Amino acid sequence: MDQKTMPSARLAPLTKDDLPELKAELDAAEKRMGFIPNSLLIMGRRPKMVKGFQALSASVWDPEGKVPMAFKRLLAHVASRSAGCQYCLAHTGEGAIKLGVEQRKLDAVWDYQHSSLYTPAERSALDVAVAAGCVPNAVTDEMFLELRKHWTEEQIVEIVGLIALFGFLNRWNDTMATPLEDEPAHFGETHLAKHGWTIGKHAR
Amino acid sequence: MDQRTKPSPRLAPLPQETTPDLKDQFELMKRNLGFIPNSLLIMQRRPKMAKAFAQMTAAIWDPEATVDRRLKRLIAHVSSRAAGCQYCMAHTAGGALHFGVEDKKLADVWNYQTSPLYSPAERAALDLAVAASCVPNAATDEMFAEMRKYWTEDEIVEIVGVIALFGFLNRWNDTMATPLEDEPIAVGEKFLAPHGWSVGKHAR
């Protein structure tokens, strides 16, 4: 008898072996993250889309960017929280720690407006990320004035590009109910659950 | 005296000559759309991002894909409406007309669930687009079961890819308050204003 009570995935992740034409892209993702995300293995059914997405993702996470990489994970994290995507919350939380964000700083991200671990520059960008992740979009001209005090126009494009990339990912993963991989699932249980995170529909 | 009472854009579109490297992409857009969207002219401050984004959109609108591109514009349209992005609503309505959606079908998209101009397959995809663009995401397993009646798994990836691309664009343009260009403003005033659309913060 089948004991499984969970519903099956909306669209199952394929395997790397199913997708020989995407070997380079999937290897690159595995190298960067330590595993191949199920989001890409689901998308594999349209190989050109995976290639386009990986190009966009690489440009947003460009190591030559002018906004610190670890901080960008925190921006992605709060934008994903506004949009309610638990899959992306776990990925970005774990990613932030891997890139060297201290655990106590990640814990304090739920209170970045008051925490002394965050600078005024960081707060101005996090404010935009939170507001941009809402529907309807809650970003204001005043938030941009504040951003301009701390960031160049090029950095603002980098910041909003990152927030928008997670506009893609939040919708993709919350719509597909992408199954969360073991590593970020463990991270979520250990570090995010105390703030109300649950794996929900991504536990499949 | 400066008579202008509107606030300046959050980040101004730059002239197309700013990035010679993007000439090919810009020419392609001029051919396809009749103009270069301000969204990309703003993004130029990070040329790699603009280039990769153009690659991503080309993958989503791939002419070899199997979901009718007219329906894909309508999917993008209802998705943008659910998210509240007036800029994207005007662009996608213009794109739908450009690719041959009849005026009366576009006018009826506000009523796709009951309009005889829409097929059950189209309704399933539009239902998913609306739900996926809400926060929190309202897509359900039942919607996927309905999708599977009409669409292959590859096509479902293609459809959710369109919806997710507009997750990027809705956030980008609503956050940047991207100034809407003349052609889509005309489409918005003619076809969308009777349903409550207004140019809002994109009139700059």
**In-domain check, residue B5:** no
- CA atoms of B40 and B179, how far apart (whole Å): 11
Q: Are residues B143 and B172 in the same domain?
A: yes
- pLDDT at position B6 is 52
Overall average pLDDT of the B149-173 stretch: 98
ipTM above 0.90, yes or no: yes
Structural domain span for residue B56? 18-60
Residue B2 pLDDT > 60: no
Judging contacts by C-beta atoms under 8 Å, the chain B residues touching residue A53 are 56, 59
Structure confidence at residue B8 as a pLDDT band (50, 70, 90): low
pLDDT on residue B131? 98
B109 and B24 in one domain? no
Which two tokens mark A34?
């330590």
Query: Distance between CA atoms of A72 and B2, rounded to whole angstroms?
Result: 39
* Domain presence at residue B89: yes
For the whole model, what pTM was predicted? 0.95
Place of tokens 């204003």: B193
| Contact between A135 and B82 using a beta-carbon 8 Å cutoff | yes
Do residue B82 and residue B52 come from a single domain? no
Each of the 204 residues of chain A gets a pLDDT tens digit; together they read 444 455 566 999 999 999 999 999 999 899 888 899 999 999 999 999 999 999 999 999 999 999 999 999 999 999 999 999 999 999 999 999 999 999 999 999 989 999 999 999 999 999 999 999 999 999 999 999 999 999 999 999 999 999 999 999 999 999 999 999 999 999 999 999 999 999 999 997
Optimal mutation site among A46, A128, A130, A149, interface B, most CBs of chain B within 10 A: A46
What does the pLDDT read at residue A8? Answer: 63
Q: Report how far residue B45's alpha carbon sits from residue B190's, in angstroms, rounded to the nearest whole number.
A: 33
In CATH, what class is A66-202? mainly alpha
Cα dihedral B69/B72/B77/B83 (nearest 10) = -150
Average pLDDT over residues B175-180: 96
pLDDT of residue B4: 46
Considering the domain boundaries, does residue B85 fall inside one? yes
Whether residue B38 contacts residue A180, with contact meaning beta carbons closer than 8 Å, is answered with no
Domain locations in chain A?
A: 21-60, 66-202
Closest to A108 in 3D by CA, of A117, A100, A99: A117
Q: Which one, of B168, B179, B190, B183, lies nearest residue B87 by Cα?
A: B179
Token pair, residue A142, equals: 């005043």
Alpha carbons B81 and B197: distance in angstroms, whole number:
9
Q: Which amino acid, A168?
A: F
Contact between residue A87 and residue A173 where contact means Cβ atoms under 8 Å apart:
yes
Asked if A157 lies within 8 A of B169 by C-beta distance, the reply is no
Q: Is residue B22 domain-shared with residue B90, that is, in the same domain?
A: no
- Residues A37/B25/B174/B6 CA torsion (nearest 10 deg): 160
- Please state the rounded mean pLDDT for residues B22-41: 90
Cβ–Cβ below 8 Å for A157 and B49: yes
Q: What is the pLDDT of residue A142?
A: 94
